[in-house]
Amino acid sequence: MFAPADKAQAEESAQSLTIEEGKKLYTVGCASCHGTDGQGTSDGPSLVGVGAAAVDFQVSTGRMPAATSQGAQVPKKKNIYSQAEIDQLAAFIASLGAGPNVPTKDQYDPEGADIAKGGELFRNNCAQCHNFTGKGGALTKGKYAPSLEGVEPKHIYEAMLTGPQNMPSFPDTTMSEQNKKDIIAYLHAVNSDETENPGGLELGGLGPVSEGLFAWIFGLGALIAVAIWVAARTAKARKS
Ligand code: HEC
Ligand code: HEC
């Protein structure tokens, strides 16, 4: 048994070891663009204060390390680090300046969240870039909002927390933890494939009937929108 003081000390030295390991990985894989102390260079922004959540998101989704020659936007690719290494990199960068922490499963697990509320929040805050069901879409200057299909809940939460690239950030002060969960639950519901995942909506405790109803209402909305658009076009064409 450790005495409390010893235990705290042991934890502290484990933490500084993690940071030390992270620094080594950083020096090899990241410093050329982000600077030896994370201060940034002409090839990459400063990482002081971006927080562990940004590192976990960027490296886990394979965006970082970026390739040397980039297009308009750093693409997703296969991640080359283990989760343990990502944690070390994140600990090192978090030690440079305080920023958002990696969310815990408690925070991002959508179990029991409100899918309908999530849909409303998504339409108001995200759909203008990611499309109504998160299929993604083009932005200006060759940039794009990616499809959100199959993105892990943890990474959805981190994207909202850190606002990568052109995306605005939605910190907990402007969008509560619960609302983030609602959005994650909504994305899970619209993207789950019924044949592969028969209990798709079990998450929200609704079941297949409401899922069908949901799809039906959604489809009907789209049809009405198209009908209005066609009617407007026809009216315009008649006038001219
Ligand atoms: C070839 C240059 C390059 C390398 C190598 C590189 N990065 Fe980056 N990094 C960039 C650029 C450029 C951006 C800005 C990307 C954007 O805005 O789309 C960026 C952005 C980031 C961000 C987001 C910062 C924010 O404000 O949210 C993080 C975190 C990050 N990099 C971490 C890393 C880590 C960790 C490594 C090493 C594993 C790494 N990068 C390696 C060029 C690089
Ligand atoms: C102004 C446009 C814009 C808005 C609004 C926006 N995003 Fe994004 N989002 C982006 C862009 C651009 C990226 C790609 C960033 C990158 O690759 O570095 C992105 C990336 C993401 C990713 C990462 C997906 C992946 O492939 O790893 C997630 C998850 C995400 N957004 C969720 C959301 C959610 C949820 C909302 C609403 C709360 C939202 N976004 C609002 C533009 C937007």
Q: Where are the domains of the chain?
A: 11-102, 104-196, 203-232
Multiple choice CATH, 104-196, 1.20.1440.230, 3.40.50.300, 1.10.760.10, 3.40.250.10: 1.10.760.10
pLDDT of residue 224: 78
**CA–CA distance, 240 with 228 (Å, rounded to integer):** 19
- The pLDDT tens digits for 36-56 are 999 999 999 999 999 999 999
**Residue identifier of the C-alpha nearest atom 13 of ligand 2:** 145
pLDDT (0 to 100) of residue 17 = 93
Q: What is the mean pLDDT of residues 162-174?
A: 95
Shortest-distance ligand to the CA of residue 158: 2
- Other beta carbons within 10 Å of 121: 19
- What is the position in ligand 2's atom list of the atom closest to the CA of 75? 17
The tens digit of pLDDT for each residue in 198-237 reads 444 444 444 455 556 666 667 777 777 777 777 777 776 7
Fold of 11-102: Cytochrome Bc1 Complex; Chain D, domain 2 (1.10.760)
Q: Tell me, yes or no, if the two domains 11-102 and 104-196 fold the same way.
A: yes
Contact 51, 94 (CB under 8 A): yes
> Given the structure tokens 């407007």, which residue do they identify?
232
Find out whether the beta carbon of 146 lies less than 6 Å from any atom of ligand 1: no
